Amino acid sequence: MRYNPLSSGFYKNSRNSFMNKMKKNSLAVFNSNDIYPISADSMMPFKQHSDIFYLTGIDQEETILLLFPDAPDKKNREIIFVKETNEHIAVWEGPKLSVNDTKKLSGISNVLWIKNFDKIFSLLCAQCENIYWNTNEHYRADYETETREERFIKKYNIKFPAHKPNKSNPILQELRSVKSKEEIDQIKNACDITEKGFKRVLKFLKPNVWEYEIQAEFIHEFLINKSNGFAYEPIIATGTNANILHYTKNSCKCLSDELVLMDVAAEYGNYSSDMTRTLPVSGRFNKRQKLIYNAVLNVKNEATKLLKPGINLTDFHENVGEIMTAELIKLGLLNIADVKNQKRDKPLYKKYFMHGTSHHLGLDTHDYGLIDKKIKANMVFTVEPGIYIPKEGIGIRLEDVVVVKENRDPLNLMKSIPIEIEEIEDLMNN
């Protein structure tokens, strides 16, 4: 692997925390992801399911984890099943994880080959009353492809209909939303690699380069720094393209009078970072661009201060909306009288800032976190306000990753990535 893994102790603690929240006499099961086909004999690169990775550190397909804290036989309280290497696999793909490798990474002593799963699972199901199925209940989840986990649940629900079904996801949402020091360090590694990519682009950007060339500069720097690549599909949006929130074509030429919005970040060890910066293609902001840019920066700075333990995300977003409204009035984009008469459920600032300000970040870019619960210390969030004015061909978003701290302002993991206008212009023109 390219990255330095977390300690097996972290994964032991994660499993213990999960098992402590299970009902008595229950078994929980977790699957790795599929390797998804494209067409003909082509496959997408494997990306591990973040839940089984969080509980084991195993980054390999065809892996299953069983947790049965009340198992009569102690060796069956944690079992991990992995794919066995054969001669064909060794020649065409290289060897898979050995038993000893799996033990060392995960801290699980009972490692079995995946071919033994059905027999062991049936034996253990005869000893338990409840089964925890790992359904996807993330509030943003919206997809049509059936996952390996979903196929598994369908199959074994039919085979064991008498067992009471329980949900793993609410437990994982709670546990994964609060990050350990090891996890925060891993996220910081991803942020540091992102910084290197951004500083490379500061030197590269000039009129008439193409959006995809900027993307290429980022991925080059990410890969040579031991990242597996982008944490998410990058957005490199010049001019009015920046007003398309999920613009990913990255196929236009950057013109000298334009800004280019870059929502792009590296992953490291399966942990995400998430950065947005907006740069002047010419190396200098004009007067109007500066006014809007500084308005966004002011909102970001004030919004960051609001991320404290005990606040509710809904209240947080409402407070940020008020800060943004004040900035939009200063810019002449909103009228004070209209704002006073606006409907509470349809705030006028949404015309220019239509997305949320923050989301949880961790193993997933839009990570786990129960959004109706109050924020806790050591949760990791993005802060990413923006102002979008299609009529002016301007879209500006700025985004950093921060850690919520007890009794002090959040820790900005991207504080060394240039963001002030003066520093950006100096670096681009040096």
The residue whose two tokens read 């253990």 is: 124
On whether the CB atoms of residues 290 and 422 are closer than 8 A, the answer is: no
What is the distance in angstroms between the CA of the first residue and the CA of the last residue of the chain?
A: 37
Range of the domain at 37: 8-176
For residue 90, give the CATH number of its domain. 3.40.350.10
What is the predicted pLDDT for the residue at 144?
86
Answer yes or no: is pLDDT of 417 > 90.
Answer: yes
For residue 425, give the CATH number of its domain. 3.90.230.10
- The two structure tokens encoding residue 415: 């504080």
- What is the average per-residue pLDDT within 89-94? 93
Distance CA 325, CA 318 (A): 11
Looking at the structure, tell me whether residues 349 and 392 fall in a common domain: yes
Domain boundary, last residue among 124, 149, 176 = 176
Looking at the structure, tell me whether residues 122 and 211 fall in a common domain: no
Residue 188 belongs to a domain = yes
Residue 320 belongs to a domain = yes
Residue 345 belongs to a domain = yes
Instruction: State percent of the chain over pLDDT 70.
Output: 100
pLDDT band, very low/low/confident/very high, at 394 (cuts 50, 70, 90)? very high
Answer yes or no: is pLDDT of 355 > 90.
Answer: yes
Residue 331 belongs to a domain = yes
What is the predicted pLDDT for the residue at 189?
98
Domain boundary, last residue among 176, 201, 218 = 176
Answer yes or no: is pLDDT of 1 > 90.
Answer: no
Looking at the structure, tell me whether residues 212 and 163 fall in a common domain: no
The residue whose two tokens read 């004999």 is: 41
Looking at the structure, tell me whether residues 286 and 398 fall in a common domain: yes
What is the predicted pLDDT for the residue at 302?
98
149-173 pLDDT, tens digit per residue, is: 999 999 999 999 999 999 999 999 9
400 vs 112, 121, 125, 142, 388, CA distance in Å?
42, 44, 46, 26, 18
What is the predicted pLDDT for the residue at 324?
98
- The two structure tokens encoding residue 373: 């619960």
What is the predicted pLDDT for the residue at 140?
86
Domain boundary, last residue among 150, 176, 202 = 176
What is the predicted pLDDT for the residue at 345?
87
What is the predicted pLDDT for the residue at 134?
97
On whether the CB atoms of residues 46 and 33 are closer than 8 A, the answer is: yes
Main-chain dihedrals φ then ψ at residue 278, nearest 5 degrees: -125, 120
Residue 242 belongs to a domain = yes
Answer yes or no: is pLDDT of 249 > 90.
Answer: yes
Residue 179's contacts (CB-CB under 8 Å, 6 or more residues apart) are 187, 362, 378, 379, 380, 403
Domain count, the chain: 2
Distance CA 425, CA 221 (A): 22
Looking at the structure, tell me whether residues 206 and 298 fall in a common domain: yes
**Mean pLDDT taken over the chain:** 97
26-57 pLDDT, tens digit per residue, is: 999 999 999 999 999 999 999 999 999 999 99
303-352 pLDDT, tens digit per residue, is: 999 999 999 999 999 999 999 999 999 999 999 999 999 988 899 999 99
212-232 pLDDT, tens digit per residue, is: 999 999 999 999 999 999 999
On whether the CB atoms of residues 402 and 359 are closer than 8 A, the answer is: no
Looking at the structure, tell me whether residues 318 and 420 fall in a common domain: yes
Distance CA 92, CA 349 (A): 56
Residue 2 belongs to a domain = no
* Parallel, antiparallel or unpaired: strands 400-403 and 411-412: antiparallel
Looking at the structure, tell me whether residues 273 and 210 fall in a common domain: yes
Distance CA 368, CA 357 (A): 16
Looking at the structure, tell me whether residues 170 and 221 fall in a common domain: no
Q: At what angle do helices 8-19 and 99-106 cross, to 10 degrees?
A: 70
What is the predicted pLDDT for the residue at 142?
87
Answer yes or no: is pLDDT of 283 > 90.
Answer: yes
